[in-house]
Chains A and B, each alone.
Chain A
């Protein structure tokens, strides 16, 4: 079953239902699938989560994942990971699972849609000032005028470009890999696509890691910078 034809770049182009403005595209459907898997897993495991020494394998897996995320956050932010776990962790889990499922035939990764990656990049773009203000108050905006006010446009430009880079990087990697696999299947249907799939899993996880770590770095840059300033003063 081929959902996304080779000539279709984005799953947005695959529309299952449409009522005027509202379009239920493959992107949304697969996004809901991933959300459903994650929430079901969370419900199943989280409901029986216990602090006993003996725990289920699934709880163990999720504990390993969550504690690894928190460790990474702590390493980057040097701060209490509780504030960032929900946002960064959800980014990682969503993108990671979205990319992992690429090995399932008939699956189309929502992250191969520029719309999805842009939406995620925009949430990062918005979260930076939100975290900055919640952490440092309105003095967060002073960062845009450092070291002098002349740098303000460059700061703003930097915010936009890095957001764009986030979106394009993830989209480009996943989309191109998707296409490469499709083309390779047409050219050499045996063995080689398997290797490329394995490579795809690695690339997918690396991209999920890069996306969430960069998001954390951007957030930490505004919370940490102010910390350093306070220490200097």
Chain B
């Protein structure tokens, strides 16, 4: 067992050469390749993690968007339903209002027609009744009736109360020079004297008393001075009666009468 010193030195050199060559051709390249691969894999994993995180974030974002869309869709549907309901109510209200308006118009038209009918009826019946009464009164008129008319007039003058007498005197003293006595028939001398006698206490001497026949007065007599009129006439009665008749006819239609009730 010996050591060959040449081989010994040669082996050390061989080892150093081998180490140098392996370092250059093997370790450096293999280690570099492994490091690069490791870095690449690490980068890939990082990328994957990043992408995963991005995907998760995106997923969350899209879920949020989806929820938003669903919520909005629901809101829109609800709104549409509300709008449709409101539109329905509005259309129903319009239809009801139009129906009510046309019913109202129909009712008013009915009322107007009834008014017109009653008016015409009133006028015709009034004209007929009073035409008939006037005819009767005209047919009955004679001297005796005229005397009674004058008698009634004289009684009325005599029955004037204090205030009316004052008014009559004042109207006659107010400078009027003419007093007109109108009658529906021609007064005879005697009848004129009775009238003059009755109103004499209120007359001034300078006042002129005129008599006039006026068919419009009817079976009656009236005294007119400035601002004062005293009369008695069947026409007045008839006019009052006619007026009363008209009022009575109107009252025949109750004030609270609602044509709608009849419609219904």
Q: What residues of chain A have their CB less than 8 Å away from a CB belonging to chain B? A: 9-10, 12, 21-23, 25, 27-28, 31-32, 35, 38-39, 41-43, 45-47, 49-53, 55, 59, 62-63, 66-67, 70, 82, 85-87, 89-91, 93-94, 110, 113-116, 118-120, 122-123
Contacts and interface: CB of A to CB of B under 8 A. Distances in A.
B37 interface: yes
Nearest to A110: B11
Contacts of B10: 28
Contacts of B27: 66, 85-86, 89
Interface residues of B, number: 33
Interface of B: 1-4, 6-12, 14-19, 21-23, 25-27, 29-34, 36-37, 40-41
A31 B22 contact: no
A224 B1 CA distance: 37
B25 A122 contact: no
A169 to B, nearest CB: 15
Contacts of B26: 38, 41-42, 45-46, 62, 66
Nearest to A10: B1
B33 A63 contact: yes
Contacts of B29: 46-47, 49
Interface of A is mostly: helix
B3 A94 contact: no
Contacts of A38: 18, 22, 26
Contacts of B11: 27-28, 31, 110, 115-116, 119-120
A70 B36 CA distance: 16
B6 to A, nearest CB: 6
A62 B30 contact: yes
A31 B4 CA distance: 15
Contacts of A53: 37, 40-41
B15 A93 contact: no
